[in-house]
Amino acid sequence: MNKYELAVVVNAKIDDEARNAVVDKVKALIERFGGQITEVDDWGKKRLAYEIDKMNEGFYYFIRFDAEPTAPAEIEKRMRIADNVIRYLCVRNEAA
CATH label of the domain that carries residue 34: 3.30.70.60
What DSSP designation does 84 have?
T
Structure-derived torsion over alpha carbons of residues 23, 27, 29, 5, reported in degrees to the nearest 10: 100
pLDDT band at 1 (very low <50, low <70, confident <90, very high): confident
H or E element that contains 40? strand 36-52
User: 9: how many CB neighbours lie within 10 A of its CB?
Assistant: 21
Mean of per-residue pLDDT scores for the chain: 92
pLDDT digits (tens, 9 = 90+) for 27-71: 999 999 999 999 999 999 999 999 998 999 999 999 999 999 999
Concatenated DSSP letters of 41-63: EEEEEEEEEEEETTEEEEEEEEE
Q: What is the spatial distance between Cα 94 and Cα 17, in angstroms, rounded to a whole number? A: 34
Range of the domain at 69: 2-92
Domain count, the chain: 1
